[in-house]
A and B are shown apart, each in its own frame.
Chain A
Amino acid sequence: MIELKGISKNFGDTRAVKQVSFKVSEKETLVLLGTSGCGKTTTLKMINRLIEPDEGQVLINGENVIDQDPDMLRKGIGYVMQNIGLFPHYTIAENIALVPKLLKWDKEKIKSRTEELIQKLHLPESTLTMFPHELSGGQQQRVGLARALVTDPSVLLMDEPFGALDNVTRASIQKEFKALEELKRKTIVMVTHDVQEAFELADRICLMDKGEVVQIGTPKELLYKPVNDFARNFLASQRLALEFKVVVIQDIWAYLPKESLKDGDSHSADLSVWEAMELLRNNNHSDLRITCSNQENKTINFEQLTKGFNQFQNAQVHE
């Protein structure tokens, strides 16, 4: 668990971060979202003391980070950065083994853990003896992730982890990232300026502007209950796409027709509207069978889905 209590940071006369407070519960992913210069990266770096706060406290699992040796603190926190920062003079294996070596793990343990990780991250074993410059950008980012995960820290900090990748690679890595079992066990704070990415990966989003927190909430709360114009405008340009992603079948269950015509494979009602649309289109299914949490089944086609979604939207506005 991570807790920030009123932390502030000044750079000269500029107040980069003002009285930021939030809590991240265990195994939760909190995304710090905002434009460049909003203080999100500074906030992130104050968690592992890469930047020391001028005011306020940072508690990790109840312990104030100021009371800990910074090097030891950082060894216990995974860190992934936009520019990856792999050591160009180390092989991939050595890059991954960096922190375990600092912690004086024995060789066998390092080796088996490294092999386990590169398998999970879909890196070919031959890359282990290569140097970073011999790898593609996507592969390098996976190595960066492996390096952060190798000691299985409970807390992971990520600073624009996919920022350096092209759109196609980014989308596929995001997907893998979401599916990765290792990451589901971790408390993660991630920084991004990409709204789509934030909605894709966050349990909760902390929207920041000019060094201050504007709103903290689930993606759905940000979409449907923005606290002010800034929050509303921030999402405006991509609103529809975001809504398709945020709203799940369960949400619009009441607006879908009741009949269940046939047996066969059924999907969970946790499916987002977007995912349901993709399934309907890609798999040439004329309709889709969905099982709700109370075991009720419904079969829907594309028209019924969009109609249900629209009714749900209207209901939100009127609320």
Chain B
Amino acid sequence: MNEQQQTLWQFMAGQSDKLLSQTLQHVGLTFISLLFAIAIGLPLGILIARKRKLSGTVLGIAGVLQTVPSIALLGFMIPVLGIGAKPAIVALLIYALLPIIRNTYTGIIGIDQHVKEAARAMGMSKSQILLKVELPLAMPVILAGIRTATVINVGVATLASFIAAGGLGEFIFGGISLNNTNMILAGAIPAALLAIILDALLSLIQKMDFKKLRKALYVFPVVILILGGFYALPTAYGSTLTAGFTPEFMGRQDGDLGLKSTYGLKIHTIVISDAVMYKAAFAKELDVISGYSTDGRLKAFDLKILDDDKHIFPPYYAAPIVREDALNKFPELEKTLNLLAGKITDSIMTDLNYKTDYLHQQPERVAKDFLISNGLYKAAKNGHNGTVRIGSKIFGEQYILAEMYSMLIKGNTDYDVATKTGLGGTKICFDALTNDQIDFYPEYTGTGLLVLLQPNLKIAKEMAHDKEKTYNYVSTEFEKKFKIKWLKPIGFNNSYALMMRQKQSKELNVNSISDLKNYLDKN
């Protein structure tokens, strides 16, 4: 099962069902939110064109909303609106708002004053002036705003997959976490095409003369409604419980694929980002989620790990992986990084994660506290003997580890440190490493095996449950293939796990994945 050897076309043909439904969802999301954005933005634009004093405030607020990072915005939405379509539409709407309000405003105030005066002098009422003079004359500018908003929305809608709202982001982010270029392109190419096509269509409308424009304006809302309607296509619910899995989990043999083949688990599944998954489970939006066994939010949100009684989740022992030329360049590095080897157990890691995720302590402080209590902390030497670049993936645990390594290097060697944290996923992190953008980052044996090496099924199965075997295999293979060295494991095993709310697990008497399957089969 080596997907690298599949052509993009084969991948797209094989996934055509998914591709079509994701594209429709994407178009639907874009246009539903656009529709709402127009419904809100247009009147607001008109209002501030009438009451100019308000314009600074309204445009300012819309501008600030525009600058909120999309993921953060989606995160804010969860407690209020849950997951799925609603928060995604609201978030997209917020991003589309500014260009629409601003262009409506500029369009209207830019109209020739004499034309407006003539309209008044002819005895047109305020609403007649608005509908027959101001809006038609401002229309090219307003359409330009709608065009900008549409293109922005096509882009931002890829993020909708983080909160289980579907769209082409499922492929894109799934592909990034799975190191599957075909999958990324299968999402990215249609998304880009969509943006280009919609932009071109809207520019056509924008360039029409007034006569054609008048006709087009009758058709335009209908088209938006129809396209928006794609999203309302009913989704079939297959079970009483709902699962939320990350895009990465969805495509992995030791993830959803394994759950299906080994356990025969059939559950209504939606794709969601790791960042919001736990919160959604806590808020009872989701019943079963794919998580990490050392995640601090387990403790914070009172979740229970379901026993993996058929052992599909291989061990994920964390260890720093370093490029060999970096080890040569920084002779002190290996010794220093190994100071942490074996020091952090599962429960310690969960506790550290809990401190950052739930108690909201800074990763830096958590790292320092830990090093001090274990006698590993030394004040920084402020050396200038070259700079070691540390990478980390975009989740809490990796931030903490990156901080610890940073402090260890600064305290024990004369090297300086640059951290590049928050790299969005395995592929990005690994590519940064092989392309000499970072020198090392903490990786997990299971990920190294299944995502980066992707050996055939037989080897994978053989390795899967033996910590030592997996570690030895990835060490030798990485050395051979990439000239990258696995240092000693840090100690904890952060494997995949299925989890439920403690309370629900007790109520349903579901303690293992097999229990879950039996429960679902009965209901």
Contacts and interface: CB of A to CB of B under 8 A. Distances in A.
Interface of A: 48, 50, 70-76, 79, 81, 83-90, 98-99, 102, 131, 147
Given A87-B133, A88-B137, A50 B120 contact: yes
Contacts of B133: 87
B210 A131 contact: yes
A50 B116 CA distance: 11
Interface of B: 112, 114-115, 117-125, 128, 132-133, 136-137, 209-210
Contacts of B120: 50, 74
B136 A102 contact: no
Contact of B115 (A70, A74, A79, A85): A85
A214 to B, nearest CB: 27
A68 to B, nearest CB: 11
B56 to A, nearest CB: 22
Given A88-B137, A89-B210, A131-B210, A75 B117 contact: no
A75 B118 CA distance: 11
A98 B119 CA distance: 9
Contact of A73 (B115, B123, B132, B209): B123
A87 to B, nearest CB: 6
A86 B124 CA distance: 14
B123 A87 contact: no
B118 A102 contact: no
Given A71-B124, A74-B123, A85 B117 contact: yes
Interface-centre pick from A74, A85, A131 (highest chain B CB count, 10 A):
A85
A36 B112 CA distance: 21
Contacts of A147: 122
A151 B455 CA distance: 87
Contacts of A74: 120-123
Contacts of A83: 112, 114
Sort A-B residue pairs by CB-CB distance and give the 6 closest, nearest first.
A85-B118, A75-B123, A74-B123, A83-B114, A79-B121, A89-B210
Contacts of B137: 87-89
A50 B209 CA distance: 31
Contact of B119 (A72, A84, A87): A87
Contacts of B117: 50, 81, 85
Contacts of B119: 85, 87
Given A48-B121, A81-B114, A85-B119, 19 more contacts: A50-B121, A71-B123, A71-B124, A72-B123, A74-B120, A79-B118, A79-B122, A84-B118, A85-B112, A85-B115, A85-B118, A85-B121, A86-B115, A86-B118, A87-B118, A88-B112, A98-B122, A99-B123, A102-B128
Interface-centre pick from B128, B137, B209, B210 (highest chain A CB count, 10 A):
B210
A72 B119 CA distance: 13
Nearest to A75: B123
Contacts of B118: 79, 81, 84-87
Interface-centre pick from B118, B125, B132, B209 (highest chain A CB count, 10 A):
B118
A76 B66 CA distance: 48
B249 to A, nearest CB: 55
A149 to B, nearest CB: 12
22 contacts: A71-B123, A71-B124, A72-B123, A74-B120, A74-B122, A75-B122, A76-B123, A84-B118, A85-B114, A85-B118, A86-B115, A86-B118, A87-B115, A87-B118, A87-B119, A87-B133, A88-B210, A98-B124, A99-B122, A102-B124, A102-B128, A131-B209
Interface-centre pick from A70, A88, A90 (highest chain B CB count, 10 A):
A88
A154 B394 CA distance: 77
B114 A102 contact: no
Contacts of A75: 122-123
Contacts of A90: 210
Contacts of A89: 136-137, 210
Interface-centre pick from B119, B132, B209 (highest chain A CB count, 10 A):
B132
A83 B210 CA distance: 21
B373 to A, nearest CB: 72
Contacts of B114: 81, 83-85
Interface-centre pick from A83, A84, A86, A87 (highest chain B CB count, 10 A):
A87
Nearest to B117: A85
Contacts of A85: 112, 114-115, 117-119, 121
Contacts of A81: 114, 117-118, 121
A71 B121 CA distance: 8
A147 B132 CA distance: 16
B123 A102 contact: yes
A114 to B, nearest CB: 15
B123 to A, nearest CB: 3
A147 B119 CA distance: 11
Nearest to A101: B132
A74 B128 CA distance: 14
Contacts of B121: 48, 50, 74, 79, 81, 85
Contacts of A131: 209-210
Given A83-B114, A85-B115, A85-B117, A102 B122 contact: yes
A81 B123 CA distance: 14
Contacts of B112: 83, 85, 88
Nearest to B139: A89
A81 B114 CA distance: 8
Contacts of A87: 115, 118-119, 132-133, 137
A87 B136 CA distance: 10
A185 to B, nearest CB: 20
A75 B112 CA distance: 21
Nearest to A157: B121
A98 B112 CA distance: 18
A88 B115 contact: yes
